[in-house]
Amino acid sequence: MKKPKAQLLTALIILAIAAIFFASCKSDGAAKDDGKTGGGDNATTGEIAPGETTELRDKLPDRDFGGYTFRVYTRGPADGADRNTQIYSEGENGDLINDVIYKRQKKIEDRFNINIDSIPYDYGDSSANAAQKSILAGDNAFDLLAVHGANMAAVAQKNLLVDWISAMPYVDFEAPWWPDDETKSMRLGGKLYFTIGELTYSNVWGASCLLFNKELFKNLNIDYPYSAVKGGTWTLDKFISTVKQGSFDLDGDGAITPENDRYGLEIYHDSVYPTCVFFCGGDKVITVHEGGRLELTAFNERTVSIFDKFFGMMGSKAAYVFYDAAKRTDFNRTAFREGRSLFWAGLVTHVITHRDLDIDIGILPCPKYDESTPRYFTSSYLGSQVFGVPVTSPDTERTSVVVEALSAEGYRMVKPVFYEEALKRKFSRDDESEDMLDYIRDGIVFEFAQYFGNVGGSMQFIGTALLGQKQPDFASFYEKNETSVKKNIGKINEEYGFAD
């Protein structure tokens, strides 16, 4: 029998080990949340509504805003997309996502005695022109802006938006509804003028991913890549090798063409996977350091290797780009939709777009560079809407309360429905695809050079730029553009007081 002191020592050792274990469970960015963390002494209490998958609560105080109308400037119906309803809904209509957004809206309205209103704009109006004119005129027309990422960055550089870090006291960037990479990589001079988080599901909606034709895989005796993903061996080399197995001259004319033959890979858009592939090793074009200093970090042995491999695949005629700026093709006339491509490289939203296919499809994360790469990194689509607060806002404390509440409930209510119900159960075709969506979400990164295109210059979309060359060569492309991009970065660093 152990002595009391020995028992006490054993208990203390066990507690110490447990403390270390649980501390290690907190990721620095995209780790999955188990949903069991409490909100602290100031957390909102109450029953969990149907569909809510986590007990994690915000830490907001009680507030009564006296029936204030909280106005959100959003992309309107002319956009031809669902971005307006990602933040606002006029009422329930039986659609899963619309209805949960409406329920979130009503919950926040009742909690803080406000009315949330959407002010849509014409997408053809350069996305943010009306907002800029209003702010410059000193009008208090909007509490929150929700516009295209690149256009929001342009508004930020005109000093028309508040800094979320200093002016939004109730936004808790330690909470899981604010992904670390997003809030760190979009800072300008150390200030965060716009962000995404769980205010909207578009950060997942616009993540790059792969779809694959399971029937073709079976016919060609190729193993589904699910086990490779889970085992950490779904690499760029393995992906390219599989792509090359899919190419075949079906009509026997001696050429591989999108209209008649089979491809290993059909790429949805010249600005999606050709750009996303750069991130597969965990690199950034422009790195935002602690404090806000910018550094050009695009060029190294790994990124050279990535583009060599990618363009080697493109040159093999096993892959082609379905859409580019010079060619608008009927979306229904694609090799993948007609069962003539192993893979489709696009966005998570294409899981929904392709839901009408009779073809059995699976979902995969984009491959990582090699087995030592820690995650399956993927990029967020620049066209996803981001959120900013105009400097004309008379009460940013109130705005911070509403935004934090919407984000927290987006995490607790909207994300589970969009991610679990709509994507996983309604549109994905198998249990493995559900797991793959978790890998995709956990690997989303945000690139400063894409949002701030006037700083990134020719390196805003490197893969897209290289596609336009007859003989793509990343090393020579970088050498040609390095000086101008460094000059752009130098101006920003100087403006915000960072020495080179």
**Would you say residue 28 has pLDDT above 50?**
no
Q: 443 versus 124: which is more confidently predicted? A: 443
Mean pLDDT of the 310-326 span: 85
Residues 6+ apart with CB under 8 A from 110: none
- At 128, list the tokens: 């943010």
Mean pLDDT of the 58-82 span: 81
Q: Of 142-146, 248-252, 337-341, 380-384, where does mean pLDDT reach its minimum?
A: 380-384
User: Where does CATH 3.40.190.10 sit in the chain?
Assistant: 68-205+383-427, 208-379+430-439+454-495
Compute the distance between CA of residue 146 and CA of residue 160 in angstroms, rounded to an integer.
14
With a pLDDT cut of 70, the percent of the chain lying above it is 84
Amino acid residing at 105: Q
User: What stretches of 247-329 show up as alpha helix (H) in DSSP?
Assistant: 273-276, 301-315
pLDDT at 381: 83
pLDDT at 45: 32
**Would you say residue 91 has pLDDT above 60?**
yes
What are 365-413's pLDDT values in tens digits?
999 999 999 999 999 888 778 999 999 998 999 999 999 999 999 999 9
- At 162, list the tokens: 């508040």
User: What stretches of 316-421 show up as alpha helix (H) in DSSP?
Assistant: 349-353, 396-409, 415
Q: How many angstroms from the chain centroid is the CA of residue 420?
A: 17
Mean pLDDT of the 259-264 span: 92
**Would you say residue 48 has pLDDT above 50?**
no
Element (H, E) at 8: helix 4-24
Compute the distance between CA of residue 121 and CA of residue 78 in angstroms, rounded to an integer.
8
Q: Residue 342 carries which DSSP code?
A: E
pLDDT at 179: 86
Compute the distance between CA of residue 440 and CA of residue 433 in angstroms, rounded to an integer.
11
Strands 208-213 and 341-347: antiparallel
Report the alpha-carbon angle 468-470-474, nearest 5. Answer: 70
What are 217-258's pLDDT values in tens digits?
999 999 999 999 999 999 999 999 999 999 999 999 988 988
With a pLDDT cut of 90, the percent of the chain lying above it is 59
Q: Coil, helix or strand for 287? A: strand
**With helix as H, strand as E and coil as C, how does 227-264 read?**
HHHHHCCCEHHHHHHHHHHHCECCCCCCCCCCCCCEEE
pLDDT band at 40 (very low <50, low <70, confident <90, very high): very low
What are 353-364's pLDDT values in tens digits?
888 888 899 999
How many Cβ atoms sit within 10 Å of the Cβ of residue 343? 26
Report the alpha-carbon angle 229-288-284, nearest 5. Answer: 35
Q: Residue 77 carries which DSSP code?
A: G
User: What stretches of 33-95 show up as alpha helix (H) in DSSP?
Assistant: none
Q: Of 49-58, 66-75, 421-430, 441-450, where does mean pLDDT reach its minimum?
A: 49-58
pLDDT at 124: 52
**Would you say residue 190 has pLDDT above 60?**
yes
**Would you say residue 35 has pLDDT above 60?**
no
Residue 378: name the closest of 297, 442, 462 by CA.
442
Amino acid residing at 368: K
Q: Coil, helix or strand for 185? A: helix
pLDDT at 43: 34
pLDDT band at 424 (very low <50, low <70, confident <90, very high): confident
Could you tell me if 348 and 203 are in contact, meaning their C-beta atoms sit under 8 angstroms apart?
Answer: no
Compute the distance between CA of residue 300 and CA of residue 315 in angstroms, rounded to an integer.
22
**Burial group, residue 287, by CB count within 10 angstroms (0-12, 13-18, 19+):** middle
Compute the distance between CA of residue 439 and CA of residue 433 in angstroms, rounded to an integer.
10
How many Cβ atoms sit within 10 Å of the Cβ of residue 304? 14
Which CATH superfamily includes the segment(s) 68-205+383-427? Answer: Periplasmic binding protein-like II (3.40.190.10)
CATH topology assigned to domain 208-379+430-439+454-495: D-Maltodextrin-Binding Protein; domain 2 (3.40.190)
pTM reported for the whole predicted model: 0.84
Longest dimension (CA), the chain: 86
pLDDT band at 32 (very low <50, low <70, confident <90, very high): very low
The 10 Å CB-count burial string (b at 16+, else e) for 390-407 is bbbbeebebbbbbbbbbb
pLDDT at 85: 56
Report the alpha-carbon angle 299-305-309, nearest 5. Answer: 135
Q: Of 80-84, 196-200, 364-368, 398-402, where does mean pLDDT reach its minimum?
A: 80-84
What are 103-141's pLDDT values in tens digits?
999 999 999 999 999 888 765 555 577 788 889 999 888
How many Cβ atoms sit within 10 Å of the Cβ of residue 333? 11
pLDDT at 182: 86
Could you tell me if 412 and 185 are in contact, meaning their C-beta atoms sit under 8 angstroms apart?
Answer: no
**Would you say residue 30 has pLDDT above 60?**
no
Compute the distance between CA of residue 106 and CA of residue 111 in angstroms, rounded to an integer.
8
Which residues on adjacent β-strands are paired with residue 275? Answer: none
* Beta strand residue intervals within 22-139, DSSP E: 68-75, 114-121
Could you tell me if 153 and 452 are in contact, meaning their C-beta atoms sit under 8 angstroms apart?
Answer: yes
How confident is the prediction for the chain on average, in pLDDT? 84
pLDDT at 127: 57
Compute the distance between CA of residue 26 and CA of residue 8 in angstroms, rounded to an integer.
28
- At 6, list the tokens: 């020995």
Compute the distance between CA of residue 270 and CA of residue 284 in angstroms, rounded to an integer.
19
